[in-house]
Amino acid sequence: MACRRSGSGLMLAGLIVTLVGLAVALTHTFEMPGHWTTVAVGVALLVAGAVRAALGGRRPDAGAS
């Protein structure tokens, strides 16, 4: 956990909560069945993870034990 900024974990948690809330709000707005909420949240988190991986790059010590 070397060289990590102190607020990055909180920002990631805020992003996740925001995406979940947005997905739930959109499913209610478009009157989608409840079981699609899980799919919408999963897709939103996958997209957020892909964007973070693309923008953040790989750390040289990633995967080292």
Domain ranges of the chain: 11-53
Q: Which residue numbers in the chain have pLDDT < 70?
A: 1-5, 57-65
Q: How many other C-beta atoms are found inside a 10 Å radius of the C-beta of residue 37?
A: 16
pLDDT of residue 49: 84
Instruction: Measure the CA–CA gap between 3 and 58, rounded to whole angstroms.
Output: 14
Report if pTM > 0.75: no
pLDDT of residue 2: 55
For residue 27, give both structure tokens. Answer: 């499913």
pLDDT of residue 12: 82
Nearest alpha-carbon partner for 35 in 23, 50, 17: 23
- Please name the residue ranges forming H helices in the chain: 8-29, 35-56
